[in-house]
Structure 1
Amino acid sequence: MKLTKRLAIGAIAGGIAAAPAVAQEAEAAFDRLDADGNGHISWAEAYDVRTSEFTEMDADMNGILAEEEFQGPARPLSAFDTDGDMTLSLAEFLQGHRSMFDRFDEDADGALVLDEFEAARSAARSD
């Protein structure tokens, strides 16, 4: 169900699940990852987008993100930096995203729906 429909239902029921700007941002991010537009984000879809994001951030194209290159939307570089060297390899970046993906795939079907995606985004912002 599109987020705007869910917000309308929430408003009718007496509450709004999220502020409109935040809701639109979440839906836009979800749609960007849902490459085939089927309403589910598979890890393959997320992998492709996250790999592209890493490449775009890697200004010096050395395959490593330094702290000044990293543009994490909600989490600091250290949240992905498994070896503690304050840089990120593509493997570390993808491992961090895969961990979040698996954590929030509540029904373990190998895909995230919008509700699961929103939960992951909310958790990342509060960590």
Structure 2
Amino acid sequence: MHLNELKALHVSQLLDMAAELEIDNANRLRKQELMFAIMKRRAKQGEQIFGDGVLEVLPDGFGFLRSPETSYLASTDDIYISPSQIRRFNLHTGDSIEGEVRELFQGTNRFKDLVERLHGIPRNLLAQRLA
């Protein structure tokens, strides 16, 4: 599943999906909370979830993937990128990143991303970028 697929769904469709996944009190959740609950449940069931966006590296060394839907501005839907991934792959603000969305980041409603593609290039072919 891709995160963009969930973002494109109407709340009623998300509620139907939540009912299938037996998510409690889904009708009380806002759209973003509902999406996170669905992703969390699907991840727990072993399903891979993918996301993408354009990286903004913050002064503290970590970053977030921003999306065109929010005009690349900060949003609650942004995906966290750790400082170690930024260093490991020599990432910079403006890089287009795709990857598997992983666990929640330190008890927040933000997911971490594992970099798998940079500007469409698979991670295993990034040797020149890493040098």
Q: Same fold (TM over 0.5)?
A: no
Q: TM-score, normalised by structure 2?
A: 0.30
Higher relative contact order (CA 8 A, sep 6+): 1
Higher strand share: 2
